[in-house]
Amino acid sequence: MVVLADIGVLPETAEIALQKFVEDGGYLVRFAGPRLAATTGEDPLVPVRLRTGERQLGGAMSWAEPQKIAPLAPESPFAGIKVPEDVTVTRQILAEPSVDLADKTWASLVDGTPLVTAESLGAGTIVLFHVTAEATWSNLPISGAFVDMLRRIVTLSRASANTTDGRTAADSLPPYRILDGQGRLVGPGADVQPLQLAADGPQPVTLQNPPGLYGTEDGYIAHNLLPAGTELKPLPPLDLGAPVQTLGYGGEDAVDLTPWLFAAALVLFALDALALLWLNGAFSRIGTTLAKRRSAALPVIALVAAVALAASIDPGRAQTAETGAPASIDLPFDVEKAIEATETTHLAYVETGDAATDDISRAGLSGLSQYIAAKTALEPGDPIGVDIAADELAFYPIIYWPIDPAAPMPDQAAVSRIDAYMKQGGTVLFDVADDTLAGLSGGGVSAGQRRLRDILADLDIPPLEPVPSDHVLTKAFYIMGDFPGRHTGSELWVESLVRDADGASRPARGGDGVSSIMITANDLASAWAVDAQGLFLFPTDSSDPSQREYAYRAGVNIVMYVLTGNYKADQVHVPALLERLGQ
């Protein structure tokens, strides 16, 4: 079973692989969210056709109230699961009406809209929860019914583990319960091995694979002692016609253990006497003498151990055959660069391949790092350029990406690495530096905007919005109203804030609340850039020196926001939090 939580856009290779996985008998479980709601076009990996956008239930801007979950139908795979009365749904993705929508619905709300839909694809099944996997859109994920639903799906996936081409969806199953000699199901011992599944039928019962249940509590298969159709017959009667001889327990080869038991008792008596002498300090003088002799022998022992260790080293491992140099170990990343990136906090930028653009990014982040060290407690190291196709990105909290339309388009593998970096907690700041006047909200489309759209088309990004006035970015360190750079014509776009039922924003969100993506066209790096003497390299649009000061403050807020998350939102909203705790 594969689970996708709010994944809207999938790379083509991943989509093909998932489709084949389902057709071969796998289960694909998907959850809705802002990314999936913003996806347009046909998606072959959803069970029903979805409407763009989301439905909001409850709040000042909606006539509808939060909906409860309807009783589960007897023909539903979730039949028998009891959903608590306090489970409600406040937001969901709607399905387009169709004649077979009811047949594909496993669970629905009391108003009839689907909550969980599913459809078979080949030998597998696609299941879609029309709410998020966490308690943003519904409190279902924090209820016991949600756990029962997932367990039911896992059990169904185990039942359909056989694939269409005779293979199996899993290579082996761990032992769960084993039959002992009395025919009782007990826990497996340490010598029981996982059951290897094969296409040529059930595996024979062996000492390593005794009969029992293999799998987990969510789903398992029976490994029977006898094959199906085996007929059990009683044993034939014993032929006792031969003469019967009666023998006792003793014989000519019996051994008398009396002397051995007396000897053992004598040894125990001697040990008890020695222990009594030791407790009374009789061995202190003997111990001191032995310690002096042992310390004199330590250099000899160390020398012998060193000679033995040197003789045991494989010369082929210690040095190469041709040069005699120490053999190296291949690691998946550059060790020196990893140490440099992790010994202190560094701001990173994407190496575009254009020397002029990369020099501006390096100088800009260097100037921002110096400003941060002067104004805050953070002392960043020198900025580091990264190759998104080869370097490890997890070492850097934020990556500055100047969009250069003349630079080569990154390949699918590099874009996938950026997508994984953003979903695992990293932040990418895209800066379209050629938009000097129109900005991202203007009517025209520049070459930089077109290149940015091409890059974002392959990324699974959430819905975006200009930074709201109550966003943490506006108060992470300085109180900011906008985020200028060398230019001032563009807004800073970030991930949309989650709104509560009353329509108010909720900056203190789940997790650290940091937006995984930021987009601007104000050319921030050029405003931050300084040379070796600390002189500014580029002028700003305005002759007012405060524009550059505000550009630096915008950079400080961005870095502090990425490093500290929503702590400032908690500080600003202390009265509201205390009021909520009092309720």
pLDDT band at 45; cut points 50, 70, 90? very high
Model confidence at 458: pLDDT above 90 = no
Task: Tell me the residue length of the chain.
Answer: 583
Give 208-242 pLDDT, tens digit per residue: 999 999 888 767 788 888 887 888 889 888 777 77
Give the alpha-carbon dihedral of 535, 539, 540, 543, to 10 degrees. 100
Give Rg (Cα) of the chain: 35
Query: What average pLDDT does the segment 77-99 reach?
Result: 90
Q: Are 517 and 419 in contact (CB under 8 A)?
A: no
Between CA 177 and CA 184 the distance in angstroms is: 9
Between CA 24 and CA 167 the distance in angstroms is: 9
* 32 or 328: which leads in pLDDT: 32
* 538 or 60: which leads in pLDDT: 538
Q: Are 364 and 391 in contact (CB under 8 A)?
A: no
Model confidence at 258: pLDDT above 90 = no
pLDDT at res. 315:
46
Q: Are 268 and 274 in contact (CB under 8 A)?
A: no
Average pLDDT, whole number, for the chain? 81
Name which of 423, 437, 431 is nearest 407 in CA terms: 431
pLDDT at res. 84:
92
Between CA 523 and CA 527 the distance in angstroms is: 7
Between CA 359 and CA 530 the distance in angstroms is: 11
Among residues of the chain, what percentage have pLDDT more than 90?
34
pLDDT at res. 449:
87
pLDDT at res. 164:
42
Kindly tell me the sign of the dihedral angle through the C-alpha atoms of 89, 31, 133, 100. positive
Name which of 435, 541, 427 is nearest 473 in CA terms: 427
pLDDT at res. 161:
58
pLDDT at res. 294:
56
* 553 or 390: which leads in pLDDT: 553
Q: Are 446 and 523 in contact (CB under 8 A)?
A: no
Between CA 557 and CA 146 the distance in angstroms is: 39
Model confidence at 320: pLDDT above 50 = no
Phi then psi dihedrals of residue 172, to 5 deg: -155, 160
pLDDT band at 17; cut points 50, 70, 90? very high
- Residue 357, burial from CB neighbour count under 10 angstroms (0-12, 13-18, 19+): buried
Whole-prediction pTM: 0.61
Q: Are 37 and 463 in contact (CB under 8 A)?
A: yes
The residue with tokens 């859109």 is 137
Model confidence at 302: pLDDT above 60 = no
pLDDT at res. 319:
47
Give 336-361 pLDDT, tens digit per residue: 777 888 889 999 999 988 889 999 99
Between CA 177 and CA 197 the distance in angstroms is: 17
Give 391-417 pLDDT, tens digit per residue: 889 899 999 999 988 888 888 889 889
Query: What average pLDDT does the segment 361-376 reach?
Result: 94
pLDDT band at 368; cut points 50, 70, 90? very high
Residue 470 neighbours by CB under 8 Å, 6+ apart: 505, 507
Could you tell me how far CA 513 lies from the centroid of its own chain?
17
Tokens representing 16 are 């093909």
Q: Are 115 and 68 in contact (CB under 8 A)?
A: no
